[in-house]
Copies of this chain bind each other. A is one copy, B any other.
Amino acid sequence: MSELRGACIIGQSGGPTAVINASAQGVIQTALKQGCITQVLGAAHGIKGVLEDKLYDMSKEDPAELDIMKYTPSSALGSCRYKLADPDKDDTDYKRILEIFKKHNVRYFFYNGGNDSMDTCNKISKYMQKVGYECRVMGVPKTIDNDLNGTDHCPGFASAAKYIATSCAEVWQDAHVYDTGMITVVEIMGRHAGWLAGSAALASLTGCGPDLIYLPEVDFDMEQFLTDVKAIYEKTGKCMVAVSEGIHYADGRFVSEAETSATDGFGHAQLGGLAALLANAVKNATGAKVRGIELSLLQRCGSHVGSKTDIEEAWLAGSAAVEAAVSGVTDKMVAFKCSREGGYKCETVLEPLDIVANFEKKVPREWINAAGNGIEKPFIDYVLPLIQGEADGPKENSLPRFAKLKKIIAE
């Protein structure tokens, strides 16, 4: 393999996670050590930073600050939700990217994100091949939704899962404090896949888990839901429900959207989310005291309760992408291949970008119970190893000490 000399770009894209910066750190720290990589550039707000020629010189950063990126949630370089056009229809962006690549002699492009970002990666890679510009393009996975194809799991998922399980266990304790009735509905992210909502079941390992869990993999039935809740409430005086934001009726309509228009046809703005909506339905059906709790942004940036395993694997994914690219690989995403028998083991493998992009991996139906309102043991066995170990990030004043990057524009 001939050595390819040139600069590299690392960009971050899509929604934040607790550990996406660990992956960026893995790319940056590994790239800075490569003789053939002449400059390590961080793209401001992902591909938008490339288009705008807003690239940071990562060698100018304090190594100690780079070191604590892995404990800093959200995307330190800035993120974007920018979708590249089909290059056969409109190649404006691609021409601009090529121009910037040539200007900085960029020969390595690392893109850190979820489904859409792998699509971006794939399109850029194919375009560069078509125009004959040698550039090695690698995807570094990231998504709390855990819905990327071709990998055992995605960096970012486990820390969010751990936040969710911990929070559900604590809320359970709170919701059981009185000897009076109480129903709690916890709304969890995941528009199309139920990996995060299902992870609420981990709280049961503490003795304090939800009674019912609803994922988007199973069509939602409001009557059945109310029947399920009532049965448990009447028996125990309590009920805790975990529900994915993406639950939908059999006809595909999201419950959150369908019920909004059904409930209020007077043009009033919808104020609450799904948790509030279901809490309201349950209150009307049972008369019980009900509390709707939306974990909202808290669950995807909760680095203070991050998983050490997740942090380390996220770093590894970034580092492995650089090592593979330097050794000649292109057009791949770093993926995890794991075994759980005889102790958890995880190694990186490489998957073609085009089998990864634009496919959403769902929770297998057989990992959900027959009634569609709970989780089976294989799901727990799958997730549990991923949340192990505590994030031991630095603190100042007993509050998180986040990485402070100088972000010096590259010459």
B268 touches A263 (CB 8 A): yes
Please indicate the chain B residues that have their CB under 8 angstroms from the CB of A305 in the complex.
304-305
A271 touches B270 (CB 8 A): yes
The residue in chain B whose Cβ has the minimal distance to the Cβ of A303 is B170
Q: Which of A175, A178, A387 has most B Cβ within 10 Å?
A: A178
B398 touches A388 (CB 8 A): yes
Least distance between A62 CB and chain B CB atoms (Å):
15
Tell me the complex Cα distance, A296–B384, Å.
Answer: 27
Least distance between A317 CB and chain B CB atoms (Å):
19
Least distance between A344 CB and chain B CB atoms (Å):
12
B271 touches A169 (CB 8 A): no
B269 touches A271 (CB 8 A): no
> In this assembly, does A143 line the interface, its C-beta being within 8 Å of a C-beta of chain B?
no
> In this assembly, does A165 line the interface, its C-beta being within 8 Å of a C-beta of chain B?
yes
A205 and B397 contact, Cβ closer than 8 Å, known pairs A273-B272, A304-B170 = yes
> In this assembly, does A293 line the interface, its C-beta being within 8 Å of a C-beta of chain B?
yes
Please indicate the chain B residues that have their CB under 8 angstroms from the CB of A207 in the complex.
402, 404
Number of A interface residues, CB 8 Å? 76
How many monomers of this chain does the complex have?
Answer: 2
Least distance between A411 CB and chain B CB atoms (Å):
22
A177 touches B75 (CB 8 A): yes
Please indicate the chain B residues that have their CB under 8 angstroms from the CB of A73 in the complex.
170, 173-174
> In this assembly, does A286 line the interface, its C-beta being within 8 Å of a C-beta of chain B?
no
Please indicate the chain B residues that have their CB under 8 angstroms from the CB of A297 in the complex.
171, 174-175, 184, 291, 293
Please indicate the chain B residues that have their CB under 8 angstroms from the CB of A178 in the complex.
45, 78-81
> In this assembly, does A74 line the interface, its C-beta being within 8 Å of a C-beta of chain B?
yes
Q: Which residues of A are interface residues toward B (Cβ below 8 A)?
A: 15-16, 44-45, 48, 72-75, 78-81, 162, 165-167, 169-171, 173-179, 184, 202-203, 205-208, 263-264, 266, 268-273, 276-277, 280, 283-284, 291, 293-298, 300-305, 307, 384, 387-390, 395-402, 404
With A174-B301, A207-B402 given, name 12 new contacts (CB 8 A). A15-B177, A75-B177, A167-B298, A167-B302, A171-B301, A202-B399, A205-B396, A263-B271, A271-B276, A295-B298, A305-B305, A387-B399
